[in-house]
Amino acid sequence: MRRAFILLRRRLIGSIPVLLIVVIGTFLLLEAAPGDAVDAYIGTTGGDAGLIESLRQSWGLDQSAGTRLAAYLWSLAHLDLGYSVTFSRPIRDVIFERLPNTLLLMGSATALSFGLGSALGIVAGARPGSFRDRFLSIGSLALYAVPGFWLGLVLTVIFSVQLRWFPSSGIETIASGKTGFARTLDIAQHLALPVAALGVIYLALYLRIMRAGMAEVWRMDFVLAARAKGLSRRRIVLRHVARNALLPLVTMLGLQSAAMLGGSVVIESVFSVPGLGRLAQEAVSSRDTPLLLGIILVCAVMVIVINLVVDIFYAVLDPRVGASEEAA
């Protein structure tokens, strides 16, 4: 427990400069962009020079970049994400309204690819080199090679337009007044296709790691011993081989969290899911710098937290991990 705590403290302190780099980098990127929030706004509505000037003034865009960055960092230090001019609302509210949707989408997709991937990995790795192994490996790779948006479009045409099993877009039936279990079911139904599209793609990763891990464990002494003891193959596979191959999978889980977030941008846009990814796209196109900064910050914190959890999980499981950090 002490190890885990030290790890936690060290990581939290270490992540501050990382977040600072992220914020300043993103700010500079948007600063270099042609056009600002007023250009984005006026480009859709029209307006004359006086209007443009007064908008720029009231949105604070007439100040220098340095002043604005300093002001942003200052409010950030007070844990205030600032105000979005495109939504006319505090950024915290805008982000936290969308965050659950993205978390739900990502979480379910991760669970799907992790669960199904490792299960199929066990099947494939149980008899390395067999036809079943080859088929699963290449099949999952082929899925990994499919562009996510394309898979999403095809799923919509088949399952919502043709078969009408699932709704084609959205997160829940609009203004349905559903609550409790009915609402949960409704959301699950809306998320089925996007989760499938996002999850199936990353399935290959877990399948392959599981399979590779198992192939390695097969050759280890304790498995040989178990075989010598005459344990059934199924028992060896599940009890010894798969369990030991699980650790690298957990690492992958942490590493993939950022990629999943990226993948959800496209999937959210295909399925009109009001999530963080789509919000980020809107923030970029409306040049809402503080909003994009807020989203990227929240993403970064999420990734850091997920990796921290994975590490703590590791530290608890494997005594060697925390030791070096403690010494450092």
Among the listed residues 245, 256, 247, 260, the one whose alpha carbon sits nearest the alpha carbon of residue 123: 245
Does residue 258 interact with other proteins by CB under 8 A? yes
In angstroms, give the least distance from the CB of 226 to other proteins: 25
Query: What does the alpha-carbon distance between residue 24 and residue 19 come to, in Å, rounded to a whole number?
Result: 9
Does residue 86 interact with other proteins by CB under 8 A? yes
Binding to other proteins in span 202-221, by CB under 8 A: none
Closer to other proteins at the Cβ: 21 or 238? 21
For residues 223 and 240, the answer to whether their CB atoms sit within 8 Å is: yes
Closer to other proteins at the Cβ: 76 or 236? 76
Does residue 252 interact with other proteins by CB under 8 A? no
Does residue 43 interact with other proteins by CB under 8 A? yes
Q: How many chain residues touch other proteins (CB under 8 A)?
A: 101
Closer to other proteins at the Cβ: 7 or 40? 40
H or E stretch at 90: strand 89-90
In angstroms, give the least distance from the CB of 148 to other proteins: 7
Does residue 25 interact with other proteins by CB under 8 A? yes
Closer to other proteins at the Cβ: 77 or 163? 163
Does residue 292 interact with other proteins by CB under 8 A? yes
For residues 270 and 65, the answer to whether their CB atoms sit within 8 Å is: no
Stretch that binds other proteins, among 13-21, 107-115, 227-235, 243-251 (CB under 8 A): 13-21
* Exposure letters 139-171 (e unless 16+ CB within 10 A, then b): ebeebeeeebeebbeebbeebbeeeeebbbeeb
Does residue 12 interact with other proteins by CB under 8 A? no
Quote the DSSP letter at residue 33.
S
Query: What does the alpha-carbon distance between residue 2 and residue 317 come to, in Å, rounded to a whole number?
Result: 14
**Partners of 89 in beta bridges:** 84
